[in-house]
Structures are given as C-alpha cells and as structure tokens.
Amino acid sequence: MSAYEHSTQATVWTFTVEALQAQRTAVTNEACERIQRNFEQEQNNLTVSFLSAHEEWILVGYYAMQMEGLSVYFEFSSQIKATAVAYLKRFYLMHSVMDYHPKPIMLTCLFLATKACDHYISLDQFVRSIPKVTSSLILEHEFLVCRALSWDFYVWHAYRPLHGFILDMQTVLPEQSVQLLGRLHDEAKALVSKTLWADLLFLYSPSYIALGCLMVVDEEMVRIYIQRKEMYQFFEKIEAVAKDVMSYSKIVFDVEEVKGIDKRLFYCSDPAKKKDSLLYVCSGVLEELIVCRYAKRKAEEEAQQRAKKLATVVVDKTEDFMCLVQSLERVGRICWLKLTPETVHFVIVPDHTGTQVWAILEVKSIFQDYLVQSNTNNIINLEVPIDHLHKALKSSVNASEIVLRLTKHDHFPMLSCSISLLGKSGGMSAVTHNIHVRVLSPLMQLFEPVVPEPDCHIILPSLSQLRYISERFRAISNKIFLKANMSGEFQIGVVSDSCKIETKFKDLINPELDPCAVKDISKHPSQIRDKKAFVTVKVSVKDWLNLLQVHIVAKRVIACFCEGHALVLYVYIMEPEEESSAVLTYYISTYIE
C-alpha cells in the first residue's frame, strides 16, 4: 500500500461526489439555523435571505482563484499556491462563509502554506504588500484555520506524480522525443493548475488527476502508455477523471454574480461574529479568546525583540567578517570578544603557540545597526569558541545579512548567529546557529604584551607570496628566520645542517614614524641604527604559517622587528585611504640563540 493511501488526505479529505455535496449542505444548513436564531435574539424575528451551498461554493472558488495573482506577485511556487487552495477549500468544508468571510481566510491560508512548504517570508513583509491587511488579521485567523484543518498541513498534489509519469514515459515510450514529452508535461501542468479551483482534490488521488490531465493533452499517447504498462483496470477511471478535468478547467466565475453573492453575504453574516454587534460583545465567543491569545503572543514577541536589541550586531561586510574569523581561528580556538560602544576587540592568547592576536575594529569598519547596552558602562566581555563561530559562518556564503545577538537559552548565555540567505525564488530564508559563550567579569581582564620600540619596521610583500615560499621551507626546518633593514630590504629563509635557503626582497617601503606617537624620533632605535644593517628574528614555522592565513583579509602589513624579543605585525584589513580603522596586531615570540 502506498504512502498516500495511509495519509489523512486519502482517509479524511477524500469524498464521493454525493458525500462532498452532503457535507457542504450540512454545513450551510447548520449555519443558517444558528444565524437565524442569533438574528432573532438581536433583531426580533428578522427574516434573512441566506446563501445556498452552491452560492457558498462559488464564492470560495472565486477567492481561491485570487491566489493565482498573489502567488505570481510574491513569486510563490505552484506547490505553495496549490497547498493554500487546499487549505481554503478544506476550511469551508468545516465552516460556512456566513461565519467567516473568505478574504481573510484566503490570506491566512496562503501565509500558512508558505510555512508548510518551507518558504520563509516574514508576516510583516507578507501583509505590507496587500492593501488594508494587517498582521493582526492573519494572526486572528491562523489558529482557527489550523484547527479546521485538524492540523493536517501536508497536502499531496498532482505536480509530483505528473513529473514521475513523464520520466517513466521516457522509458516506456522511447520512440517519443524528449521535446514532445516536455511539451506534454508543460500543458498537463497548466491543466493541473486550472483545476485547483474545482473539487478534483477531494474526489481523486493526485496520480489519477495527473494521468487525467495527460490524457486531455494527448489521449493517444496516454492510451499507448497504459497498454504498455498493462494498467487496463484503471483505464475507465482515468477516462472519467479526464472528462472532469476538461469540464472543471473551463470554470469561469461571473464577477457580477460573485458581487451579488458577496453583497447578500454582508446582510446574512452571523451577528455573533460581527465585532460591532451586541451579541458579539455579550457572547464571549471562542474567536475573541483566540484574538486575545494571539494579541498576547504578539506582545510577548515584541517584548522579546526589544530585549534582544540590548546586545545586537548586524554585520555589514559579511565576506570580510567571515575571512577575519577564519584567519583568527588558525591561531587559537578560544577568543576573548570585547564589545564597547565604539569598538569591537578580538583577543586570542593560545596555550600551545607563541602567537597572540589583538584586533581592534571600529564599529563602522565592518558592522552596522550596532547596539550594546550593559550595566557595566556598556561594555560586554565574552569568551567565544572562535572555531564554533567559524563553522557557523561557513553557511553565510552569499548571505545578505549576518546578525549577532547575545541571548540566553535554558539560563545559559548564547551568541546567536542569524544568517539571512536569498533563495533562488527570491524569497528570504534564515539560518540560526547558537554558540555557547561565557560572560566574563569586568575584573577578568587580559593585558596586551609590552615590547620595546622596534629596531626596524617595514611593509611586507604580499602575504600570499610569502605563504607560498614558507610552505616549501617547512619540510627543511621547523624554524624560519626573517631579516629586514631600514633600506627597504627583507629576507626570509631556513637553515639546516645540510643547506641554507633564503629569498630576498628589495625596494620595499619603510613607513615613516608618526611624530604624535613617538616623542623623540631622532632617538628611536630604528633611526640610530645603520640603515643597511639587518635585524634578524627566528620564529616557529608553524606559528608563521598560521599567521599568514590572514592574507585573505590583509590589505597592508607592517612588520616591526624587536630583536631578541618578538616580531610584531600590524595587519590593516581596510584600504589605507578609508576612514574606518581596523587593525589586527600579531605578537610572535622569537627564539633567542
């Protein structure tokens, strides 16, 4: 037995023609009797002209057809449109249009279908494009629709079996060209869409509807297909479906007739559902409770959104931010993240290497919509597993936005990383990663290393080029020497018992010292040395190669040689002419020999 035969669509939402008509008539009759009693209570035996079951069917079908235009506007798939139509029709097998007008129900069904079909669109974005529709209108009816559907959200449509039959025909009917079968598929798919407004979904399985549409398009080909598949026992039913498809595909709703029905509906709608009626105010109907429940939920959601903004960072340059995190992750796994109103600090002090990274980024250099608030002078210190953050950001390729929020989950602090992605259909989808972090006390501080004034400072050549060279040195020695002087010369090499290899660079730039930062430039170590004299440092090859990972974000790198102490690299990740400041400072321990 197929999965469809076990589904609620087959067992609950499939009828015979007679049973379907009886269900609609029963719903209409019950509504007429109840509404008549309500009118008698409010308006003293007023006689009302109620709608018939057929008139209700016309009105529902007309509003179902309006989903075609809305789906085109929002660029929704056929699957979403068909699911929304099924929701609408199922709803009115349980309720009468005299209880709930089809327009808000139709919009609610369409929004609900986007959720069921995994097509993200925010409620605000959805209602913004529809005149005179608010978020509260959708929320007011959402629970009501879900309850009428008995929480059966999955709908089987004819589009999928139609595609399957076409693929099977390529094997069973090899004499038919792919172009012909493609045309057959497209025309049959158009027929499936035309029959959505009818009742075929309640009467036949999706496979029968697909074969019926194929038979309408090319009866001879389908007959041959059925014969070769030896499905003779299904032939009569497929023919019957094809006749219904031809009949229902020609359905056209008379707009004037619909307007007349809609006008009568205004006068025969249940007064207990009208908010300006005395009966509604006094009855305490369930729908009002639902409105209150959703209003409360909406208020809670808005409060949560306001709370989240206490520590929220929106990343503007998503690609640069991902590359920055990737380069930091190679140095160490744990990062101290310090958020202040003007700057963001990344500090990595690993246990297993002699390299430290201190990064200070101005907020405007890489972030936007930046908001940090705390009771410690608006400064937040976090311990973040940078490798986990890097893994989360791997899904941000082609992301339109990355939002970082400090939240709580089960009383544990979390760094929530929300990544907004633009889908092929134009819709937005969001991926959220929650990363466990530790909030540090203001007393738990790290202090930047103190090193002497450099003996030499020089702008390094391309880090990509240095990385290419250094990779080949790793097989020779685990130590690498770096030399530079104040005449624009830089050397990199290795020494082993059997060989010595070095690469030389000339005509590099020795940047001038800033008089505001150095008190007496004439006495600075780099100025009193012989400009041709080299300053040499020896560092770990592993540490050096990990540092060179920063080439993916580096725009300019200034190396400061402190002989006998450390190698300090200032990595600028913004172009020199840009106003924003974003500098990574690498401190690399050196070998003393």
Tell me which of 515 and 56 has the higher pLDDT: 56
**pLDDT at position 288:** 46
Residue 525 banded pLDDT, cuts 50, 70, 90: confident
350: domain CATH number is 3.70.10.10
Last residue of a domain, one of 439, 465, 498: 439
173: domain CATH number is 1.10.472
Asked whether the beta carbons of 493 and 471 are under 8 A apart, the reply is no
CA 336 to chain centre: 28
Residue 136 covered by a domain: yes
Last residue of a domain, one of 439, 470, 495: 439
Q: Is the pLDDT of residue 306 over 80?
A: no
Mean pLDDT, residues 561-572: 85
Indicate if 339 and 410 belong to the same structural domain.
Answer: yes
Residue partners of 283: CB distance under 8 A and separation at least 6: 272
264: domain CATH number is 1.10.472.10
- The continuous run of DSSP H or E covering 389 comes out as helix 386-393
**pLDDT at position 578:** 58
SS (H, E, C) 281-336: HHHCCHHHHHHHHHHHHHHHHHHHHHHHCCEEEEECCHHHHHHHHHHHHCCCCEEE
Cα(132)–Cα(444) distance, integer angstroms:
55
Residue 140 covered by a domain: yes
Share of the chain above pLDDT 70, in %: 84
Residue 119 banded pLDDT, cuts 50, 70, 90: confident
Tell me the per-residue pLDDT of 328-349, one tens digit each, with 9 for 90 and over.
877 778 888 888 888 888 888 7
Q: Is the pLDDT of residue 419 over 70?
A: yes
Residue 542 covered by a domain: yes
Tell me the per-residue pLDDT of 437-492, one tens digit each, with 9 for 90 and over.
888 766 556 677 888 888 888 999 988 888 888 888 888 888 899 999 988 999 99
Indicate if 366 and 397 belong to the same structural domain.
Answer: yes
Residue ranges of the alpha helices (H) in 44-77?
A: 53-74
**pLDDT at position 311:** 57
Indicate if 244 and 260 belong to the same structural domain.
Answer: no
Q: Is 138 left (phi over 0), alpha (psi -120 to 50) or beta?
A: alpha
Highest mean pLDDT among 103-112, 113-122, 239-248, 406-415: 103-112
Tell me which of 253 and 391 has the higher pLDDT: 391
**pLDDT at position 308:** 42
Residue partners of 321: CB distance under 8 A and separation at least 6: 315, 366, 393, 402
Indicate if 472 and 365 belong to the same structural domain.
Answer: no
Residue 3 covered by a domain: no
**pLDDT at position 231:** 80
**pLDDT at position 286:** 45
Q: Is the pLDDT of residue 390 over 90?
A: no
Mean pLDDT, residues 174-203: 82
Tell me the per-residue pLDDT of 63-116, one tens digit each, with 9 for 90 and over.
888 888 888 888 888 888 888 888 888 888 888 888 888 888 888 888 888 888
Q: Is the pLDDT of residue 505 over 90?
A: yes
Share of the chain above pLDDT 90, in %: 4
Residue ranges of the alpha helices (H) in 427-520?
A: 463-473
Q: Which of 135, 129, 62, 132 is nearest to 97 (CA)?
A: 62
Tell me the per-residue pLDDT of 219-238, one tens digit each, with 9 for 90 and over.
888 888 888 887 877 878 88
Indicate if 168 and 219 belong to the same structural domain.
Answer: yes
Indicate if 28 and 130 belong to the same structural domain.
Answer: yes
Indicate if 296 and 242 belong to the same structural domain.
Answer: no
Indicate if 237 and 279 belong to the same structural domain.
Answer: no
Question: What is the domain range of residue 67?
Answer: 8-156+253-269
Asked whether the beta carbons of 505 and 489 are under 8 A apart, the reply is yes
Q: How many CB atoms lie within 10 A of CB 440?
A: 16
Tell me which of 458 and 420 has the higher pLDDT: 458
Residue 502 covered by a domain: yes
pTM higher than the cut 0.75? no
**pLDDT at position 446:** 64
Give the number of domains in the chain.
Answer: 5
Tokens 């060279």 sit at which residue? 469
Indicate if 580 and 474 belong to the same structural domain.
Answer: yes
Q: Which of 553, 442, 515, 516 is nearest to 586 (CA)?
A: 553
Q: Is the pLDDT of residue 303 over 60?
A: no
Residue 17 covered by a domain: yes
Residue 144 covered by a domain: yes
Indicate if 48 and 100 belong to the same structural domain.
Answer: yes
Tokens 């006008």 sit at which residue? 263
Mean pLDDT, residues 555-565: 86
**pLDDT at position 374:** 66
Indicate if 137 and 28 belong to the same structural domain.
Answer: yes
Last residue of a domain, one of 386, 414, 439: 439
Residue 487 covered by a domain: yes
Indicate if 286 and 316 belong to the same structural domain.
Answer: no
Q: Which of 138, 218, 134, 221 is nearest to 173 (CA)?
A: 221
Q: Is the pLDDT of residue 538 over 60?
A: yes
